[in-house]
Copies of this chain bind each other. A is one copy, B any other.
Amino acid sequence: MKLATYNDGSRDGQLVVVSRDLASAHYASGIATRLQQVLDDWNFLSPQLEELSQTLNHGKARHAFAFDPAMCKAPLPRACQWADGSAFINHVELVRKARGAEVPESFYTDPLMYQGGSDDLLGARDAIVCASVEHGIDFEAEVAVVTGDLAMGTGADAALEGIRLVMLANDVSLRHLIPAELAKGFGFLQSKPATAFSPVAVTPDELGDAWQHGRLHLNLESIWNGKRVGLCNAGPEMTFHFGQLIAHLCKTRNVRAGSIVGSGTVSNQDWSRGYSCIAEKRAIETIESGAPKTEFMQPGDTIRIEMKGSDGQSVFGAIEQQVAPLAQ
């Protein structure tokens, strides 16, 4: 099934079930009002939502209405956790190669992951509001999952069973703040402003054969200012699958229902597939000609991130954000 959160003026929004083709939707109000509620009581509530989903897909839901992605908040407008991996090692290799640094051997066996802020997650059409264009505004197109409860020490395979929903993310980064912030030793904070998510989150079964052991074998399209800059496959080159990422996160602590775990920038070795973040394009330019040429995002810039199924239909709806004028 496909779920979304409609903006009703409240902090957590209103849960809706969305049809497979993203054409229609139905309030889930008889079952649950907020997505977090469903995650808190998944085994009881999700079958009821599944039933509504089937009725909706058969065109038989009585109070269905046309689905409007512009009405969507993030599926979880605030979450108890957002932990983002960097599971595509090609991304790490590229960025490091550009600055003449080696990739430590351990990076191939031990995932990189950072703890992100989850108090202010953006809807798919929300503006990217940044304090200064000097910060080097970049998009990062990713896949993300929402988990159920997982006990400390859960292994990678068992963790796969704890994946409730899959969605897309735009993990906006402020590139020029990163070097100084990471040099302080405590990880990202100011260099990672609010992350945006696709209009719709879907259960893994909705992905069919494209979902294989915690990897999503579909192309992630990034369109920057109307030009397609990336069409990277999110599956085969994901060095650590989502079960491994979640197991990494719950090695020393419990992970509670509603935690969001990201893949990191989707990246392929074949440069002709393009890029899912500008930093990679700049890394390639640096490797090829000694210096980056492409600038980061400017006010007014747009970014569209979308993934289509083998039937050519949008799976999650599109993230479509614009960098807001700074004087807003």
Contacts and interface: CB of A to CB of B under 8 A. Distances in A.
Interface in A163-201: 174, 177, 182, 184-191, 193-194
Given A188-B187, A189-B83, A190-B252, A115 B116 contact: yes
A263 to B, nearest CB: 14
Interface string A104-116: 1011001011111
B252 A177 contact: yes
A258 B117 CA distance: 12
A102 B153 CA distance: 37
A156 interface: no
Interface stretch (A129-137, A217-225, A280-288): A129-137
Contacts of A251: 131, 190
Contact of A80 (B80, B107, B184, B187): B80
Given A80-B78, A187-B187, A256 B182 contact: no
Contacts of A114: 115, 186-187, 189
Nearest to A78: B80
Q: Which of A106, A115, A177, A190 has the most CB of B within 10 A?
A: A115
A13 to B, nearest CB: 13
Chief secondary structure at chain A's binding surface: loop
Contacts of A113: 186, 189
Contacts of A81: 117-119
B193 A253 contact: yes
Given A112-B184, A117-B115, A129-B152, A190 B248 contact: yes
B116 A256 contact: no
Query: Oligomeric state, in number of copies?
Result: 2
A249 interface: yes
A83 B153 contact: no
Contacts of A107: 184
A40 interface: yes
Nearest to A115: B115
Contact of A186 (B104, B112, B258): B112
A254 interface: yes
Contact of A191 (B79, B182, B252): B252
Interface in A68-115: 78-81, 83, 86, 104, 106-107, 110, 112-115
Contact of A83 (B117, B129, B254, B258): B117
Contacts of A80: 78-80, 118-120
A191 B248 CA distance: 11
A259 interface: yes
A258 B119 contact: yes
24 contacts: A78-B256, A80-B120, A81-B119, A83-B117, A104-B184, A106-B184, A107-B184, A114-B187, A115-B187, A115-B188, A117-B253, A119-B256, A119-B259, A120-B256, A131-B252, A177-B252, A186-B187, A189-B248, A190-B248, A190-B251, A190-B252, A190-B253, A193-B252, A193-B253
Given A78-B80, A113-B186, A119-B256, 7 more contacts: A11-B256, A86-B186, A131-B153, A131-B252, A187-B187, A190-B248, A191-B252
